[in-house]
Amino acid sequence: TCFNAQKHIFVILCLPEYACIHPLSKTLYFKLPGSMVVTWTTFNKTESKVEYGLLGGRLFDMSAKGDAALFVDSGEEMRKMYIHRVTLTDLKPTATYVYHCGSEEGWSDMFSFTALNDSTSFSPRFAVYGDMGNENPQSLARLQKETQLGMYDVILHVGDFAYDMHEDNARVGDEFMRQIQSIAAYVPYMTCPGNHESTYNFSNYRNRFSMPGQTESLWYSWNLGSAHIISLSTEVYFYLEFGQELLFKQYEWLKKDLEEANKPENRAVRPWIITMGHRPMYCSDDDQDDCTKFDSYVRLGLNDTKPPAPGLEDLFYHYGVDVELWAHEHTYERLWPVYGDKVYNGSKEQPYVNPKAPVHIITGSAGCREKTDRFNPNPKEWSAFRSTDYGYTRMQVVNATHLYLEQVSDDQYGKVIDSIWVVKEKHGFSAWF
């Protein structure tokens, strides 16, 4: 928790990748590999400073300064808070650093992080989940412990935070950030927006997180090991009142990003393309959500806009996206390789060895006040495994050809209830044939 003389809220790490101007603070951050952004919040204006040093070395022998952006919540009280962002640069890959943040008016507790390995042969380990709230965050304690045991290099939170960050004049958001600090102060906490962030045009989400790029954390991409990872907003298909142009801007950005990632020289070193977005294209839950319908907006687009808005399935298929991570449904579901509502397994015996379509994983059962969902008793043939247990997903991008996924049940005390290896000798559009 980052203190000043009066109030404190939380500390969170995220990965920077690109030189960009942050849209809130208008400050140039040279967000390059070998760096880390530390974000924290105070209720009054103070200096933004991080003091840090190598573990085992002299404490706090380095320091970096940043800026604080005023965030005024749109609730009745119009509560004010200052979001501090400091970028640490020239970090040594795989080295562990100890740090605290704040100012001479007060410092946080001491935390540590390990600078990520910048090698394309690095095998990063992820915890992946969505839909975690303040109330009933059942998986949180296990995730806290496993993070502090060093089991993860990065967290992917696939939308829906706090339930909801804006509630009680954003105090629920404050409390949620305190809750995840025991994870997010130690490893990069990478996010995408969900429907529960939509109030006041996603303002709590856009202000509280510090993802790469210039889109207020709505969509961005980054590289780690042999993977190119894309975070996107599925919400642009559902909240047109906040600007239909966002839908088309994101689509064009996705197309350009995928084109770049598919250049032979890029796909050769980062063959895996992984996407994360909140609302799935497919699911077999017993509700009326978008993914239960054949004409899912996320999958097939919108016909009632001018011009019609394209969906994402054809785009991702055309550019050879390997794995698609989703949440929103408060369940876990693994799909067979699927495209166009049809199964395209690699083979009958080994469906995930050289699959002929992307692999979809839905992991929205981390725990929130809405509890878990129910499944339709008659799923379509693309549904391979389902669980209503609270839990989360682990993923490791092992090397250029092997990626491992497993599902942890918190209800069953951390038991691994599902696992697959995705094996691909070839990546890209041509891999489907």
pLDDT-derived band at 12, boundaries 50, 70, 90 = confident
Higher-confidence residue: 3 or 42? Answer: 42
**Is the pLDDT score of 151 beyond 80?**
yes
Q: What does the alpha-carbon distance between residue 362 and residue 74 come to, in Å, rounded to a whole number? A: 32
Closest to 51 in 3D by CA, of 109, 93, 10: 109
User: Quick check: helix, strand or coil at residue 298?
Assistant: helix
Own/partner long-range contacts of 375-381 (Cβ < 8 Å, ≥24 apart): 375/284, 375/285, 375/286, 375/331, 376/284, 376/285, 376/286, 376/292, 377/286, 379/284, 380/282, 380/284, 380/341, 381/336, 381/343
How many C-beta atoms lie closer than 10 Å to residue 384's C-beta? 20
pLDDT at 83: 96
SS3 content of the chain, % helix, strand, coil (to 5): 20, 35, 45
pTM above 0.85, yes or no: yes
- Residue 366, token pair as written in the block: 């981390």
The least confident of 2-6, 14-18, 326-330, 340-344 is: 2-6
CA separation for the pair 233, 385 (Å, rounded): 26
pLDDT digits (tens, 9 = 90+) for 73-90: 999 999 999 999 999 999
- Of the pLDDT bands very low, low, confident and very high (cuts 50, 70, 90), residue 14 is confident
Cα(326)–Cα(156) distance, integer angstroms: 10
- What pLDDT, on a 0 to 100 scale, did the predictor assign at position 32? 63
Check the CA dihedral 64-86-100-186 and report its sign. Answer: negative
Phi, psi for 294 (deg, rounded to 5): -60, -40
Angle (CA) 284-290-292 rounded to 5° is 25
Question: What's the mean pLDDT when you consider all of the chain?
Answer: 93
Crossing angle for the helix pair 167-184 and 199-208, to the nearest 10 degrees: 30
Grade residue 316 by pLDDT with cuts at 50, 70 and 90.
very high
What is the structure's pLDDT at 28?
24
Closest CA to 29 of 196, 195, 210: 210
